[in-house]
């Protein structure tokens, strides 16, 4: 009889200051069944850093604007605290913002106008 091994789910940390976005993306991630799960949600940079250290997620979905706080400035700090890949998810989809995010170490960049499938695809690409 073959030995079946179950892959561990991709643990995703969500960082956004909008509760509706956190709820919607949580539902999207959890709908992926056993392959993905939400490790935590943060609305501020300090909570994001704390959760990144404690949960050690595989992927962090990060908004650029955290209620006036610069989410992109968190990228190097998050990368120091865990081995996660960062997917920037924002409505501030400009070439300069995209370039800055990628220069700071983000693995991918997705506009909030993109489909849920596109966000899931970015999470999967980040884990490759």
User: How much of the chain, in percent, has pLDDT values that exceed 70?
Assistant: 95
Q: Number of folded domains in the chain?
A: 1
What average pLDDT does the structure give for the chain? 94
Residue 1 lies in a domain: no
pLDDT attached to residue 2: 54
**Domain span holding position 99:** 10-127
Residue 86 lies in a domain: yes
pLDDT tens digits, 74-124: 999 999 999 999 999 999 999 999 999 999 999 999 999 999 999 999 999
C-alpha distance from residue 71 to each of 32, 35, 55, 74 (Å): 26, 27, 19, 5
The pTM (predicted TM-score) of the whole model is 0.93
CATH number at residue 42: 3.40.50.2300
């Amino acid at each position: 009889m073959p030995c079946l091994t179950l892959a561990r789910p991709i643990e995703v940390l969500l960082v956004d200051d909008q509760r509706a976005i956190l709820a919607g993306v949580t539902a999207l991630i959890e709908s992926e069944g056993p392959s993905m799960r939400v490790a935590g949600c943060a609305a501020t940079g300090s909570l994001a850093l704390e959760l990144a250290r404690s949960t050690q997620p595989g992927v962090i979905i990060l908004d650029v604007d955290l209620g006036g706080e610069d989410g992109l400035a968190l990228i190097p700090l998050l990368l120091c605290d865990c081995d996660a890949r960062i997917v920037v998810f924002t409505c501030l989809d400009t070439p300069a913002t995209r370039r800055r995010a990628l220069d700071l170490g983000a693995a991918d960049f997705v506009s909030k106008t993109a489909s849920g499938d596109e966000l899931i695809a970015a999470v999967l690409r980040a884990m490759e």
